[in-house]
């Protein structure tokens, strides 16, 4: 059954998601901080984790951004094939929602021209990932992404011979080489397979999971756990000051790839792991 | 062992020489802010032999690009940005008398060497704790490059601004020592 969704509604939903995501840290992340405080061996590491809990409380209560880096506006949209958008252009509606959210929510605008470095002024354009799905609803996931952790992310095209061990080594080395830069404790999104660009999108999508959610495939879930255990032996710790809590979780997503290829993408996510969603 | 120290800017050579990695420091007085774009401009002025719009002697630069202040607040959220992007510019500023830098993340060997040679320290603030850190900033005023928006150079008046010594004047590095101490393999 075809259903109409107005751009007016989309603008409002996106606006509110921008503000909600930046002010209110997910309960899964907060829970993970509190769990980590119990397990962390380093006193300084425990102090940092407690600061992060306190920071999230202040942000929530005072309605201010958790982090000054309110990110680029990454938006995933799953749009039902029976949805008819009325009142204008979908992409422009998303951008208008971002514009309103970042301005009215006192969020930092971090989007700029890559060559001239001139700020676009309103944090647009959004990085939009559109997917057509069955049905007549629209799911909007807003996942602002900070620059510090994004800069530590990498894609590599391994040889098929590198295999699963090659994948694990690549990810662990990436976390090790990133050290304190991506604001640990981090969350690691891994995309394996597809093409060059597809692996990176898979890695980004992996970060939309809640902490503790394992890949439903038990083999892949086991790999996630193995990589997490290896990362947390690196000793980097909260903010890189040394400790056992280097990453809070590892999420792996795979897709078929070319017989000649093994694309692997690691998308690093800082502890301000923000993502909120709404269904229209 | 780490200890807690209260310091007021501007910092003297003696102030920074007394600091060791892992020390918790509460900074008072004023901090300058600056990140990529501001550093680039300062660096260009130095290369051209021109004066800087701010006096950096004995000062501490905080690598931060805050969110817009809500009405009635001095500043928005204001946590540190990643420091390595300033590595290219820092040694010259240290040579000119800069005594401290606040940020997060690893510094290059060149910057660490400059800190050792000209006596300066690199201090870590908790990344992502922008809402918490903002509470210690009592006043903020743009003093140069207003056109850079969040990247403008500001003077911040701070009270007990919490940092940890990451690189001291002896060439030590908390990040390296931390890993040595806690790595399991």
pTM, entire model: 0.95
Domain containing B124 — which CATH number? 3.20.130.10
Q: Spot the catalytic one: B35, B39, B107, B136.
A: B39
Give the pLDDT score at B149: 85
Domain count for chain B: 1
pLDDT surpassing 90 at residue B185: no
DSSP labels, B104-160: BS---HHHHHHHHHHT-EEEE--TT-HHHHHTTEEEEEEEE-GGGGGGSEEEEEEEE
Kindly list the residues from chain B whose CB atom is less than 8 angstroms away from the CB atom of residue A234. 179, 183
- Domain containing B68 equals 4-182
CB contact A210 to B (< 8 Å): no
**DSSP character string of A42-53:** -HHHHHHHHHHH
Q: What is the spatial distance between Cα A242 and Cα B182, in angstroms, rounded to a whole number? A: 6
Instruction: Yes or no: say if B145 and B37 are a contact pair by the CB < 8 Å rule.
Output: yes
Domain boundaries, chain A: 3-21+66-144, 147-272
Q: Judge whether B153 counts as a catalytic residue.
A: no
pLDDT in tens, A226-242: 999 999 999 999 999 99
* Predicted local distance difference test score (pLDDT) of residue A249: 98
Q: Could you give the strand order of the β-sheet that contains A138-142, starting from the edge strand earlier in sequence?
A: A127-133, A74-80, A138-142, A276-279
Q: Count the residues in chain A.
A: 280
B127 with B104: CB under 8 angstroms? Answer: yes
Closest CB to B126 among A51, A108, A119: A51
Chain B residue closest to A108 (CA)?
Answer: B67
Apex B89 CA angle, B86 and B90, nearest 5: 80
Distance (Å, whole) CA B88 – CA B84: 8
Say what the pLDDT of residue B2 is.
60
Structure tokens at A156: 């590599």
Tell me which residues of chain A, numbers 36 to 95, contact chain B at a CB-CB cutoff of 8 Å: 41-42, 44, 48, 51-52, 54-56, 58-59, 62, 64-70
| Residue B150 confidence (pLDDT) | 86
Q: Does A24 touch chain B (CB under 8 A)?
A: no
Q: Tell me the per-residue pLDDT of A196-205, one tens digit each, with 9 for 90 and over.
A: 999 999 999 9
What is the average pLDDT value for chain B, to the nearest integer?
95
A78 vs chain B: nearest CA distance in angstroms? 29
A57 burial level (CB within 10 Å; 0-12, 13-18, 19+): middle
| CA distance linking residue B167 with residue A46, whole number of Å | 21
The CATH code of the domain at A147-272 is 3.30.1330
Each residue's pLDDT tens digit, B19-67: 999 999 999 999 999 999 999 999 999 999 999 999 999 999 999 999 9
Beta carbons of A188 and A269 less than 8 angstroms apart:
yes
- In whole angstroms, give the CA distance from residue A153 to residue A188: 9
List chain A pLDDT tens, one digit each, 280 residues: 899 999 999 999 999 999 999 999 999 999 999 999 999 999 999 999 999 999 999 999 999 999 999 999 999 999 999 999 999 999 999 999 999 999 999 999 999 999 999 999 999 999 999 999 999 999 999 999 999 999 999 999 999 999 999 999 999 999 999 999 999 999 999 999 999 999 999 999 999 999 999 999 999 999 999 999 999 999 999 999 999 999 999 999 999 999 999 999 999 999 999 999 999 9
What is the rounded distance in angstroms from the CA atom of residue A9 to the CA atom of residue A93?
A: 9
Q: Which of residues 149-208 of A touch B (CB under 8 A)?
A: 151, 179-181, 183
Query: Chain centroid to CA B184: how far?
Result: 31
Task: Give me the pLDDT at residue B1, please.
Answer: 47
């Amino acid at each position: 059954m075809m259903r109409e969704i107005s751009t007016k509604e989309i603008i409002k939903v996106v606006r509110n998601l921008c503000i909600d995501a930046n002010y209110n840290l997910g309960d899964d992340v907060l829970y993970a901080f509190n769990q980590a405080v119990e397990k962390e061996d380093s006193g300084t590491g425990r102090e940092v984790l407690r600061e992060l809990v306190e920071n999230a409380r202040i942000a929530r209560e005072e309605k201010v951004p958790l982090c000054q880096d309110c990110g680029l506006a990454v938006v995933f949209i799953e749009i039902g094939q029976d949805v008819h958008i009325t009142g204008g252009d979908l992409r422009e509606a998303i951008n208008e929602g971002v514009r309103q959210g970042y301005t009215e929510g006192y969020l930092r605008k971090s989007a700029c021209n890559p060559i001239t470095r001139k700020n676009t002024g309103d944090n647009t354009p959004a990085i939009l990932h559109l997917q057509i799905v069955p049905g007549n609803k629209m799911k909007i996931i807003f996942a602002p992404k900070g620059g510090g952790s994004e800069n530590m992310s990498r894609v590599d095209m391994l040889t098929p011979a590198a295999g699963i061990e090659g994948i694990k080594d690549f990810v662990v080395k990436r976390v090790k080489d990133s050290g304190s830069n991506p604001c640990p404790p981090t969350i690691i999104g891994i995309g394996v397979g597809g093409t060059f660009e597809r692996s990176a999108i898979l890695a980004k999508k992996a970060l939309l999971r809640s902490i503790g959610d394992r890949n439903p495939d038990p083999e892949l879930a086991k790999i996630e756990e193995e990589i997490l255990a290896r990362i947390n032996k690196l000793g980097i710790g909260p903010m890189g000051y040394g400790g056992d809590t280097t990453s809070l979780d590892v999420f792996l997503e795979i897709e078929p790839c070319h017989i000649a290829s093994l694309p692997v993408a690691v998308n690093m996510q800082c502890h301000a792991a923000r993502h909120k969603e709404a269904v229209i | 062992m780490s200890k807690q120290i209260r310091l007021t800017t501007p910092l003297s050579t003696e102030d920074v020489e007394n600091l060791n990695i892992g020390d918790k420091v509460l900074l008072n007085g004023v901090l300058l802010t600056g990140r990529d774009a501001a550093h680039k401009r300062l660096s260009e002025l130095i290369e051209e032999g021109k004066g800087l719009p701010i006096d950096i002697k004995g000062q501490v630069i905080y690598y931060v690009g805050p969110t817009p202040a809500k009405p009635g607040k001095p500043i928005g959220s204001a946590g540190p940005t990643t420091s390595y992007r300033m590595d290219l510019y820092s040694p010259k500023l240290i040579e000119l008398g800069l005594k401290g830098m606040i940020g997060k993340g690893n510094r290059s060997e060149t910057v660490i060497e400059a800190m050792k040679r000209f006596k300066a320290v690199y201090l870590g603030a908790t990344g992502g704790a922008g809402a918490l850190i903002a509470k210690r900033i009592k006043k903020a005023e743009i003093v140069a490059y207003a056109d850079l928006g969040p990247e403008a150079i500001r003077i911040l008046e701070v009270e007990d601004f919490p940092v940890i010594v990451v690189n001291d004047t002896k060439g030590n590095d908390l990040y390296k020592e931390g890993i040595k101490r806690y790595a399991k393999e």
